[in-house]
Amino acid sequence: MAWRLLEHTADAGFEAEADTLAEVFLDAAEAFLFLAAGLTPGDFPGSGEKSELFLSSPDGEELAVSWLNELLFMAETRSVFFLPVKVTVSLSPPAIAASGRTVPLNGRVLSVKAATYGGLVLRTSPRPFLRMILDL
Amino acid sequence: MNSFLRRIDQWRLVLDPGAVPGMAVPGLIFADDYIESILKGEDVLSQVANVARLPGIVGYSMAMPDIHQGYGFPIGGVAAFDVSGGIISPGGVGYDISCGVRLLASKIPAEEFRPNADRVLAALFSAVPCGVGSVKDSLGVKELDRILEEGAVRVVRSGRGTEGDIRRTEEGGCLVGAEPGAVSPRAKERGKGQLGTLGSGNHFIEVQETEELFLPEKAASMGLSKGCIAVMIHCGSRGLGHQVCDDYLKVMRGAMTKYGIAVPDRQLCCAPVDSPEGRQYLGAMKAAANFAAANRQAIAEAVRDVFAGFFPGEKLTTVYDV
C-alpha cells in the first residue's frame, strides 16, 4: 500500500506517491475502495469479470477526479466495483486506460459521495503524487 | 489573512477587503470567540475571501456559525449575486443540491414507542435503503422526467402523500422552471433507482421525542405534542444532484474564458446568471431540487407505512419540509 489517509474536518482524504503515475492511479483506486467500503482488493480473491475502462479529460486534475468518480458511478448504477490491475496514464493528452475486473458489491454500503477538487494536488515530479479529498 | 479579521461585536467578525487581492466586498462571519479560535488554523477564511472576489457579489461574503472548509465555497457560506452582471456557480449551490429536512409529527406517546424501538428501526432500515448506491425500484425515463419537473407534487399526485404535505413543503414541493432536458443522461442514470433512498454521509432518519414545548399553541398548530414522537428525515438529491454539480462545474469551467472570468479555485467555476450556461444550470439545478423534494416525500411515505404496521390508525403529519 503506497497511500495514506488524511485527516479532514468533515470528509476524508488520501495521499498516494509512487514511482509512476500509473501506480499512483492504482493506489488511488485502492484508497477509494477502502474509504468507500472499508475493503481492499484482497477481499475479492480471484472473483469478478474481466473489464476495461478508458477515460480522457482536459487536464490531469480532472482526469484524477473523473477516474474515481467513474468507479463511484459504476458502483452506484451497476452495484459493482472495478478493481484495476493494469493502468496506463498519459497527461498529454490526459487519458487513462485500465484493465481489471469488476466484482459485485453484494449490498455493501458505500460512504463516499464524490471525489472532489478540494485540496487536490497532482504532480509528476520529483515523484508522481496525488492528494485528494472525498466527499462523504 | 488573520490581520484582516476584526471583531465588530460579540457575534460577528469582518474580513476586510485586502485579505486577498480583488475582494469586491468584505467577509462577514457569524462567530463568537470559540468559533473564531477554531477558524484561525483553517483555510476556510481564504474561501470566504475568494467568494468575495466573484463578479456581481452583493453586500458581503457571509459565513454562518457552522462555517468550515468546503469545496471552493465554505460550508455555511452565503452569498448573493446581482442577477444583472452577477454569476451563478454550481460549487456555491453545492454537490447535494437541495439537501434538506422534513419533520413528521405524531400523537404516538414516546413510552409506547420505546418497547417497539428496535423493531421499528429494523423496519425503517428495510423500507428506506441507505448508503451510497442504495437503490429502490428503478424509474422509467418519462416518470423520472416528470419527477424532475414536478417534484414532490408528482409523488403526492401518484397517491403517495397528502395535499397537506405539499402545503407544508417549501415552494409547494416544486421549483417552477425546472428543465429535465438540462440534466445529463449520466445524472439520470444515477438517479433513476434512488427515489426513496437515504444515501450516506450525514443523512439520517431519526425518531425523536418532543420533550418540551416553548410555544404550546404554535406547536399544537404544527401537530407537535409533548411526550410524543416525531420523525426527522435529512437527505437530498442523491447521486443525481452530485452529478448535476459535477457536470456543470465542467460546463462553467469551459465558459469562463468566454466571459472573461478568472477564479482562484476551480470549484468556484461560474458563468453569468443571464447566460446560456447560467440559465441551463438553473434549469438543471431546479430539476435536482425537485428530485430532492420528491425523495423526501417518498421517504416520508415509507416511514408512514412502517409506523402504520406498528401503530395502526396513528398519522404522521408533515410539520415542514425545507
What's the CATH code of the domain at A13? 3.55.10.10
- Residue B259 lies inside a defined structural domain of this protein: no
Look up the pTM and report it: 0.91
Report the C-alpha gap between B236 and B134 in whole angstroms. 14
The total of structural domains in chain B comes to 2
Mutate to test the interface with A, among B139, B246, B256, B268 (most CBs of A within 10 A): B246
Do B60 and B209 reside in the same domain of the chain? no
Q: Do A116 and B71 touch (CB under 8 A)?
A: yes
- CB within 8 Å: A110 and B72: no
Domain assignment of residue A114, given as a range: 3-135
The number of folded domains in chain A is 1
Question: Any CB–CB contact under 8 A between A76 and chain B?
Answer: yes
ipTM of the complex model: 0.84
Q: How confident is the model at residue B41 (pLDDT cuts 50, 70, 90)?
A: low
A114 with B95: Cβ contact below 8 A: yes
From the list B100, B104, B128, B136, the residue with the least C-alpha distance to B306 is B128
Do the Cβ atoms of A110 and B250 come within 8 Å? no
pLDDT at site B133: 61
Query: Who has greater pLDDT, B39 or B183?
Result: B183
**What are the tens digits of pLDDT across the range B86-126?**
999 999 998 889 999 999 999 999 999 999 999 999 999 99
Main-chain dihedrals φ then ψ at residue B205, nearest 5 degrees: -120, 125
Sign of the alpha-carbon dihedral angle for B114, B116, B119, B124: negative
Note whether B58 and B130 are same-domain residues: no
- DSSP line for B183-199: S-HHHHHHHTT-TT--B
Please indicate, yes or no, if residue B128 is contained in any of the structural domains.
Answer: yes
Examine residue B90 and state whether it is found in any structural domain, yes or no. no
Cell numbers placing A120 = 487536490
- Among residues B33, B48, B82, the one where a domain terminates is B82
Q: Which residue of B has its CA nearest to A105?
A: B133
pLDDT tens per residue, range B215-265: 999 999 999 999 999 999 999 999 999 999 999 999 999 999 999 999 989
Q: Cβ distance B232 to B257 under 8 Å? A: no
Residue B155 sits in the same domain as residue B296: yes
Report the chain A residue with the minimal C-alpha distance to residue B68. A9
Lowest mean pLDDT segment, chosen from A61-65, B152-156, B200-204, B278-282: B200-204
* pLDDT (0 to 100) of residue A1: 58
**Among A32, A77, A131, which would you mutate to test the B interface (most chain B Cβ atoms within 10 Å of its Cβ)?**
A77
Q: How far apart are CA B252 and CA B209, in angstroms?
A: 45
Check CB contact of A116 with chain B, cutoff 8 Å. Answer: yes
Query: Which residue in the set B68, B75, B190 is minimally distant from A77, CB to CB?
Result: B190
| Average pLDDT over chain B, rounded to an integer | 94
pLDDT at residue A54 greater than cutoff 70 = yes
Residues B48, B92: Cα–Cα separation, whole Å:
11
What is the 3-state secondary structure of B258-282? HHCCCCCCHHHCCEECCCHHHHHHH
B32 with B133, same domain: the answer is no
Q: Which CATH number does the domain housing residue B111 bear?
A: 3.90.1860.10
- How close does chain B come to A110, measured CA to CA in Å? 5
> Does A100 have pLDDT greater than 90?
yes
Determine contact: B68 vs chain A, CB below 8 A.
yes
* Residue B59 lies in domain: 2-82
**Three-state secondary-structure class, residue A46:** coil
Nearest by CB: A110 against B72, B133, B242:
B133
Residue pair B89/B240 in contact by the 8 Å Cβ criterion: no
For residue B71, name the pLDDT band (cuts at 50, 70, 90): confident
> Which of B96, B135, B200 is facing A111, going by the closest CB pair?
B200
Is B14 in a helix, a strand, or coil?
strand
- What the block records as the C-alpha cell of B312 is 395502526
The answer as to whether B255 is a domain residue is: no
Lowest-confidence range among B52-61, B191-200, B308-317?
B191-200
Contact B68 A9 (CB under 8 A): yes
| pLDDT surpasses 80 at B161 | yes
